[in-house]
Amino acid sequence: MQKAMFYKNLENKEVRCELCPHHCRIANFKRGICGVRENREGVLYTLVYGKAISYAVDPIEKKPLYHFYPGSNAFSLATVGCNLHCLYCQNSDISQFPEEQREIGGENFSPEEIVLLAKKNKCKIIAYTYTEPTIFFEYAYDTARLAIKEGIKNVFVTNGFISEEALKKISPYLHAANVDLKSFSEDFYKKICGGHLKPVLKTLELMKKLGIWLEITTLIIPTLNDSEEEIKKIAEFIVNLGKEIPWHLSRFYPYYKLTNIPPTPVNTLHQAREIGLETGLRYVYTGNIPGDKGENTYCYNCGKILIKRYSYNIEKYNIEDGKCKYCQTKIDGVKV
């Protein structure tokens, strides 16, 4: 265990966690909503520091990050726990583990060992992913600070449900993020995810302001967030944030507690992509449809294919010195 960051002491040995917008008020010997931060005699501890439940070498495209060191490998790291409880979570076996088992699983790996593993596997990037990196903030923070000294970049794959104070704290060491913008409906966030929309929008705005390279993912779920009206609202928000921000539209498959809804029709993803492009976004992608044209990166000026992908693999690369090979238009991203 390690003492947690971002909390305040209250009366009767209670504490208020200020790591995320839940601001959990935690009684003595109780845990917050995430299940991995526990109050012991008025001191808040993180129970997952150095406890890696999952780690692997992944292509950066799997995060998905298409405009941040494309073609690179990322050393991916997660602990158990999450501060949301999405009914369709694809990693529910580890994200909801503390709530369902009350245990803290994982192998012991120090931040120093994680950085060494990244170097050993020739990874330019460490990705804090699979579950929600916010809930293992202290572990990610210490690892990220060490990684940057070794020339390794750090990325969050996150639900965006993090406090402003915490995001600002890690921002000097955080180079990119893919943020789930799950819906543009507060009702969806409350009923389906156990969270709130507005803090996520604020996180996206703050990341942009802090200079963190940003990509956004929306899982399109039939009947829940697939209306043209809602898709257009999300697209308009992203355009106002920055038309250069890539938007990933992913196909839903029934899983966990949301098995009564069928997979998203491919045509729905295609229509959503067109809405995003018509709204003014430069790069809109479709995910979970291997071989779809929406996996490719196109020049927003001349329309030619710049990066041809099949799933997470790059088959053709037509960007030179950050510019379109054909018309010399600058392509947005980091080391593209």
The whole-angstrom separation of Cα 252 and Cα 329 is 34
Are 28 and 154 in a shared domain?
no
Do residues 59 and 190 share a domain? Answer: yes
Between 24-28, 70-74, 95-99, the lowest mean confidence (pLDDT) is in 95-99
Q: Is residue 251 part of a domain?
A: yes
Query: Which residues in 78-104 are b (16+ Cβ under 10 Å) and which e?
Result: bbbbbbbbbbbbebbebbbbbbeeeeb
| Structural domain contains residue 12 | yes
What are 146-203's pLDDT values in tens digits?
A: 999 999 999 999 999 999 999 999 999 999 999 999 999 999 999 999 999 999 999 9
| Mean pLDDT within 104-121 | 97
For the chain, what is the domain count?
A: 2
The verdict on 87 and 184 lying in the same domain is yes
Residue 103: the pLDDT is 77
Confidence band for 105, pLDDT divided at 50, 70 and 90: very high
C-alpha to C-alpha distances, 269 to 78, 183, 309, nearest whole angstrom: 29, 15, 17
Query: Are residues 57 and 21 located together in one domain of the fold?
Result: no
Residues sharing a CB contact under 8 Å with residue 321, sequence separation 6 or more, in sequence order? none
Within a domain: residue 270? yes
pLDDT at 99: 74
Q: Are residues 126 and 21 in the same domain?
A: no
Q: Is the pTM of this model over 0.95?
A: yes
User: Does residue 229 lie in a domain region?
Assistant: yes
Q: Once rounded to an integer, what is the mean pLDDT over residues 235-239? A: 98
Domain that holds residue 34: 2-46
| Cβ neighbours of residue 257 closer than 8 Å, sequence gap 6 or more | 87, 88, 92
CB 38 within 8 A of CB 82: no
Percentage of the chain with pLDDT > 90?
A: 98
Rounded to the nearest integer, the mean pLDDT of the chain is 97
CA–CA dist 207, 293 (Å, integer)? 29
Q: Which two tokens stand for residue 129?
A: 């992913």
Whether residue 42 is found in the same domain as residue 60: no
Type of residue found at 40: R
Task: Report whether 247 contacts 216 (CB < 8 A).
Answer: yes
Same structural domain, 8 and 120:
no
Domain identity same for 10 and 119: no
Confidence at residue 100, expressed as pLDDT on a 0 to 100 scale: 67
> How many residues are there in the chain?
336
> What pLDDT is recorded for position 1?
82
- Identify the burial level of 136 via C-beta atoms within 10 angstroms of its C-beta, where 0-12 means exposed, 13-18 middle and 19 or more buried: buried
